Amino acid sequence: MRVARKLYLSEAHKEADQLLMQMAEYKCRLKAIQDEAEAEIAKIRGKYVAEIKDLESIIQTLDKKIKTLCKYEREELFAETQRVELQHGALLYHAQWKIKRARGVLDKLEELGMTEAIKVSKSVRWDVLEKWTDEKLFLVGTERKLKESFSYELYE
């Protein structure tokens, strides 16, 4: 939708309009090239999607088999070490005690007064401060400031 040309109030108005025209032109050209590139990429992706899916499935299955073998043959494979060097790769074993993340632990901590294990997060509710008077803002060490921003809108 093109807007009818108007007489410019100043040279700055005219210059701004020229820049907007150039911006719209280049954005249009960029979009056309991006759309064309995406169409080409989609064609290429479509050509290989089935093969990629098959290979990803095989890799996932092999990953499970390797980890299952390591789990069930842990004693034999990792008898003396945590790293087993083989011709085509290495097997790694790592064990670590972890805390089970059970339900109700927070309630129990509060009930038993074990607050050192409870994280409390404090933050400013800026939406509340937005409604305060300037005097009240001054009391807490801040102020309302004018923030300017500039933007533009292009016509197609």
Q: Identify whether 37 is part of a domain.
A: yes
Residue 68 pLDDT: 94
> What residue numbers bound the domain in which 135 lies?
11-139
Tokens of 107: 């309630």
Number of domains observed in the structure of the chain: 1
Residue 151 pLDDT: 83
CA 103 to mean position of chain CA atoms: 28
23 and 154 Cβ atoms separated by less than 8 Å: yes
Amino acid at 149: S
Residue-by-residue DSSP string for 77-141: HTSS-SEEEETTEEEE----------TTHHHHHHHHT-GGG--------HHHHTTS-HHHHHHTT
Residue 34 pLDDT: 98
Strand partners, 84: 91
Residue 155 pLDDT: 81
Provide CB contacts within 8 A for 62, sequence distance 6+. Answer: none
Q: Identify whether 3 is part of a domain.
A: no
Whether the full predicted model's pTM is greater than 0.75, yes or no, is no
Residue 156 pLDDT: 74
Pick out the chain residues at pLDDT < 70.
1-6
Q: Identify whether 28 is part of a domain.
A: yes
Rounded Cα–Cα distance for residues 110 and 119 (Å): 11
